[in-house]
Amino acid sequence: MSRTPDTWILTAQCPSLLGTVDVVTRFLFEQGCYVTEHHSFDDRLSSRFFIRVEFRAPAGFDEDGFRDKLAEQVTPFDMQTELTPPGYRAKVVIMVSKADHCLNDLLYRQRIGQLPMEITAVISNHPDLAHLAEWHGIPYHHFPLNPNDKPVQERKVLQVVKDTGAELVVLARYMQVLSADMCNRLDGRAINIHHSLLPGFKGAKPYHQAYQKGVKLVGATAHFINNDLDEGPIIAQGVESVDHAHYPEDLVAKGRDIECLTLARAVGYFLERRVFLNANRTVVL
């Protein structure tokens, strides 16, 4: 569902308590706000409550006053809230290596306004894709990676993230393993994409390995990064059927398409404030 340009987004999470839905929706009613979309979820296993509401504000809406009154109302519920104004475009840094399909797709979706974001920088350990960023007028940072001194390169990356004020880092086929320190610093705000082949194939040319085994499904997984390689909380997945007529190059092409779509979907969920971290899992509303 696409967001209308005049709506605010209110998200919140808290322990599971009686009255959590009411305290949010009643407050919006009392402030004269019209709810256009509402989703909530109560996780009975973790005893956590999550809610996302889009609403239209009345004329003369006082954002600061709204925030102050909301804080008073939700304090008894230990509720953490976030308010996103209409037209907000999050600042995003993209990291890539040599494969260009995911980067190109995200740049295009930003350009046509499909993803409400401002790509502030593209960072790579290779110079190959500089032309793509330059064509879009986006700074391109080439930070070569010395395997014997990875912290130096990662400090440069983090400095760009800090200097640009980016709230999201997208690993759009960035083919390097991030250090534990880097993962901790970007916890909850860095999304990675990788192929999902059944059974799993690791190492060089996974699609060629899959062809040799006659796989019948190919897909992609977009997830938050963490210290466990490719095992962070999953945000979105895509899958398609294949058969004996798909040669290795066909599997690679189909895999590229699924990676682009799945990554764009995950980034869109993040930008629209639909993703909540719930321990090692996600709630996507």
pLDDT by residue (tens digit) across 45-68? 999 999 999 999 999 999 999 999
Q: How many domains does the chain have?
A: 2
Choose the weakest-confidence range: 4-8, 25-29, 101-105, 155-159: 4-8
- For residues 31 and 165, state if they share a domain: no
User: Which pLDDT value is given to residue 87?
Assistant: 93
User: Which pLDDT value is given to residue 226?
Assistant: 87
- For residues 95 and 230, state if they share a domain: yes
Residue 230 region, left (φ>0) first, then alpha (ψ -120 to 50), else beta? left
**Banded model confidence at residue 152, pLDDT cuts 50, 70, 90:** very high
User: Which pLDDT value is given to residue 133?
Assistant: 96
- For residues 53 and 146, state if they share a domain: no
Catalytic-role residue among 230, 243, 250, 257: 230
Has 243 been annotated as catalytic? no
Establish if 3 belongs to a structural domain: no
The 3 state secondary structure assigned to the chain is: CCCCCCCEEEEEEEECCCCHHHHHHHHHHHCCCEEEEEEEEEECCCCEEEEEEEEECCCCCCHHHHHHHHHHHHHHHCCEEEEECCCCCEEEEEEECCCCHHHHHHHHHHHCCCCCEEEEEEEECCCCCHHHHHHCCCCEEECCCCHHHHHHHHHHHHHHHHHHCCCEEEECCCCCCCCHHHHHHCCCCEEEEEEEECCCCCCCCHHHHHHHHCCCEEEEEEEECCCCCCCCCEEEEEEEECCCCCCHHHHHHHHHHHHHHHHHHHHHHHHCCCEEEECCEEEEC
Task: Kindly state the average pLDDT of the residues 22-49.
Answer: 97
Q: Please determine, for residue 261, whether its predicted confidence score (pLDDT) is greater than 70.
A: yes
Domain span holding position 124: 90-284
pLDDT in tens, 221-251: 999 998 876 789 999 999 999 999 999 899 8
Establish if 1 belongs to a structural domain: no
**CATH code at 15?**
3.30.70.260
Backbone angles phi and psi of 229, in degrees to 5: -55, 120
Q: Please determine, for residue 11, whether its predicted confidence score (pLDDT) is greater than 70.
A: yes
- For residues 45 and 141, state if they share a domain: no
- For residues 24 and 163, state if they share a domain: no
User: Which pLDDT value is given to residue 146?
Assistant: 85
- For residues 43 and 115, state if they share a domain: no
**Banded model confidence at residue 1, pLDDT cuts 50, 70, 90:** low
User: Which pLDDT value is given to residue 198?
Assistant: 59
